[in-house]
Amino acid sequence: DWNMPDYVDEAIGRVCSEVGSDEVILGLSGGVDSSVVAALLHRAIGTQLTCVFVDNGLLRLNEAEQVMQTFADNLGVKVIHVDARDRFMDALAGVSDPEQKRKIIGREFVHVFQEEAEKLPKAKWLAQGTIYPDVIESASAKTKKAHTIKSHHNVGGLPDTLHLKLLEPLRELFKDEVRELGIALGLPHDMVYRHPFPGPGLGVRILGEVKREYAELLRRADAIFIEELRAHGDGEISWYEKTSQAFVVFLPVKSVGVMGDGRTYDYVVALRAVQTQDFMTAHWAELPYTLLGKVSNRIINEVRGINRVVYDISGKPPATIEWE
């Protein structure tokens, strides 16, 4: 029989006896898993924990501020905020192949993280937000040599060249247990019940070459979509909660429109919202037309540079959830 308060104490005890007085580094992404690890380790070992948060320029609107606010300002966690936006954008310039983009983003992340880790020579441990399904997935990938349709760069982790011991306090937990643990540790509900966000971030939601200008437009459009999904629902449950993942995709395609007396020639975005149990198969969400209409109007009126919004009605398979 499992009860959360006992589990919290147990998990803290285990971390303390494993780590002792050593220092620990954690890559904090703002996603559920690394956030829960940060909260747990902070509770267990306080200032022996240093988090590294890398802004790769592919985060959502205000995401870096939110992460810093939740962890550094509110919880008092030591967080190094690395502004690596230029570095990632420069590395991605001229690259339009999706797999190539993923590789570059993964590689740059490792480099940036490694540079930060070298500044913390006392650290002996690298903490990671590996959860039970990741353990299973990587085990079956090794034995079956599973065909990877997309390379998920955050599964597999950082290189051994760091000479750090791995600390994976969520290794035996399923996602819903990780969420319960996050709540028990005092993390905000909205952070713990967030939709998943891919490691390469907006990099795989800007089709083809990534440009700062595209990322800026996408961030603003995406924030509007998410805000409206949170604001509308069926009774008590918002559309954000009724969908498993929802986001905007930037298409580097221009189409003609009219605005006031003038003609516009601006970019197109696609809305994607899916319902799924396991993310292996998914249905497009039957969002109400009124909601879609409101999102479309707001994006076109508020985000100068976008004049057309379409809705993706493709299931997985044959389409994937992300567009790249």
Positions touching ligand XMP (CB under 6 A) are: 102, 150, 152-154, 196, 198-200, 245, 279, 316, 320-322
Q: How far is the CB of 149 from ligand XMP (least distance, A)?
A: 6
Q: Is 33 annotated as a binding residue?
A: yes
Could you tell me the two tokens for 4? 């959360």
Q: Is 30 annotated as a binding residue?
A: yes
Q: How far is the CB of 199 from ligand XMP (least distance, A)?
A: 4
Residue with Cβ nearer ligand XMP (56 or 245): 245
- Own/partner contacts of 89-98, CB < 8 Å, gap of 24 or more, are 89/57, 89/210, 89/211, 89/212, 92/203, 92/209, 92/210, 93/209, 94/209, 95/209, 95/210, 96/208, 96/209, 98/150, 98/204, 98/324
Residue with Cβ nearer ligand XMP (134 or 266): 134
Q: Is 208 annotated as a binding residue?
A: no
Q: Is 176 annotated as a binding residue?
A: no
Residue with Cβ nearer ligand XMP (44 or 170): 170
Q: Is 269 annotated as a binding residue?
A: no
Could you tell me the two tokens for 19? 């780590």
Residue with Cβ nearer ligand XMP (157 or 182): 157
- Are the CB atoms for 28 and 68 separated by under 8 Å? no
Q: How far is the CB of 98 from ligand XMP (least distance, A)?
A: 9
Tracing tokens 């429109």 back to the chain, one arrives at 257
Q: Is 255 annotated as a binding residue?
A: no
Q: How far is the CB of 62 from ligand XMP (least distance, A)?
A: 20
Residue with Cβ nearer ligand XMP (45 or 158): 158
Q: Is 34 annotated as a binding residue?
A: yes
Q: How far is the CB of 320 from ligand XMP (least distance, A)?
A: 3
Q: Residue 78, Cα to own-chain centre: how many angstroms? A: 21
Residue with Cβ nearer ligand XMP (182 or 199): 199
Q: How far is the CB of 128 from ligand XMP (least distance, A)?
A: 13
Extract the annotated binding site for ATP.
Answer: 29-35
Binding residues: 29-35
